[in-house]
Amino acid sequence: MSPTDPTPWPRPLAEMIQRLDSLQPGSPREVGAATGSVPTAHYTDPAHWQREQDAVFGQWPIVAAHSAELQPGSALPFDALGVPIVLTRGSDGQARAFYNVCRHRGMALVACAGPEPAQAVPCKALVCPYHGWTYELDGRLRHRLHAETFDGIDPSKLNLVELPCDEAAGLVFIRRTPGPAFSARGALHGLGDHLDALGLAGMKVFRKVDQVHAANWKLTADAFLEGYHIRVLHRDTIYPFFADAYTVNWRGGPHLDSLVARRAAFEPHETPHDRAALCRLSTPTQFLFPNTFLIWHPDYVSLIGMTSPSPGTVRWVHTMLIPPDRAGPDWAPHWEKTFRLIEQTVFQKEDIATAVATQRGFGSGANTVLHTGLLEHELLRFHENIDAAIAGTLQPAANP
Ligand code: FES
Ligand SMILES: [Fe+2]
């Protein structure tokens, strides 16, 4: 987009920017219609957790990777949803997903054992490390060692079990349960246009963290759904850059796009016509229901997926995405330092540590509900949407 283009943004984002632009000292904050509460049992109850697993993580399209993680001719294991999955991209460029399970006797085809975060491995085919059965990157069984000893087993029934998978705006989505295809663009409910305008697909991966912390996954999500806490929890780290709880929100289906206002939005400025200018005035943040966040820091992006190994734990996968024109080796020390500040200090020592302390407090029984104020309305809506997804009244976008 060029600085002279009067309409570089898709309309909902352009309207959000107008609202950001009109902020002045003393402007009213955007708030919800009512206060609310969330039962603490929703963070602790194994039966509730199982319902989330079945209705939410088992049925909704989930972001499994940034597109740049999966180059043509590679395979990337993904096991954050509790079943082993492998993503592939063949020479046709299409992203696909399969159970990472050999059709012979069930061995994992691509190793997915930590402690390091999973990375794509370049490959022309998937070769099982147990007896060498070999599959094309589109899942078809290509070769069995001593195939003649498997008389009577139809090889066409031994292709990998495929999972619905689609890609849009630089994100690879999968569904954990086999079934009909979905459209990633449709699943984004208009946020795909925002991500395109911000340039997500062109970003490069710099670093990835994959850790389990002792807090229910919704507690870490809660921390990214309101700006009310920035002034206190992040007082010494990022609050010096942010206005106090000024956020412009737009809802696309169950998702949320936000511009979290920085102090610069209250100082004289021109209307932002490109990403850098917008990120000086605000931190654009997208929440992709149910479990993924994109946070546009001044010069890089955090892609964060939160999954749920157990009621009391969150698996936190944070991928740092950097602009392609700053991906050279000279930039590495800058990104290392930046990543340490955001991941180890702001996220781990502040947001995640708070979630862990809150989870520990549930054991006291001091609260049976957590209260939400008018500035926490999007957090409340997230919980209402989880409840609706469990009840079946909120469904993923229709299939293509
Ligand atoms: S289990 Fe994969 S080849 Fe035997
Ligand atoms: Fe925070």
Side-chain-facing half-sphere of 108: CA atoms under 13 Å: 14
Q: Would you say residue 113 has pLDDT above 80?
A: no
Q: Would you say residue 8 has pLDDT above 90?
A: no
Give the count of beta carbons closer than 10 Å to the beta carbon of residue 37.
Answer: 13
* Cα 114 from Cα 289, distance rounded (Å): 27
CATH architecture of 11-58+190-391: Alpha-Beta Complex (3.90)
- Average pLDDT score over residue span 249-275: 97
Identical fold for domains 11-58+190-391 and 62-181, yes or no, is: no
Mean pLDDT of the chain: 96
Q: Would you say residue 1 has pLDDT above 70?
A: no
Determine contact, residues 293/302, Cβ cutoff 8 Å: yes
Instruction: Give start and end residues of each alpha helix (H) in the chain.
Output: 11-21, 41-44, 46-52, 184-187, 191-198, 217-223, 230-233, 275-281, 332-339, 353-362, 377-391
Rounded distance from Cα 59 to ligand 2 centre (Å): 28
Rounded distance from Cα 269 to ligand 1 centre (Å): 62
Using a 6 Å CB cutoff, which residues line ligand 1? 102, 104-107, 128, 130-133
Smallest CA separation from ligand 1 atom 1, residue: 105
Residues, beta carbon < 5 Å, ion ligand 2: 223, 351
Tens-place pLDDT, residues 52-87: 999 999 999 999 999 999 999 999 999 999 999 999
146: left (phi over 0), alpha (psi -120 to 50) or beta: left
* Element containing residue 46 per DSSP (H, E): helix 46-52
pLDDT of residue 116: 79
pLDDT of residue 6: 52
Q: Where are the domains of the chain?
A: 11-58+190-391, 62-181
Determine contact, residues 194/298, Cβ cutoff 8 Å: no
- Average pLDDT score over residue span 204-233: 97
Q: Would you say residue 115 has pLDDT above 70?
A: no
Rounded distance from Cα 131 to ligand 1 centre (Å): 5
Closest ligand 1 atom to Cα of 145: 3
Q: Can you state the angle between helices 11-21 and 191-198, rounded to 10 degrees?
A: 70
- Decide: residue 151, CB within 10 A, 0-12 exposed, 13-18 middle, 19+ buried: exposed
* Cα 134 from Cα 159, distance rounded (Å): 10
Smallest CA separation from ligand 1 atom 3, residue: 131
pLDDT of residue 222: 98
Determine contact, residues 74/89, Cβ cutoff 8 Å: yes
CATH architecture of 62-181: 3-layer Sandwich (2.102)
Rounded distance from Cα 133 to ligand 1 centre (Å): 6
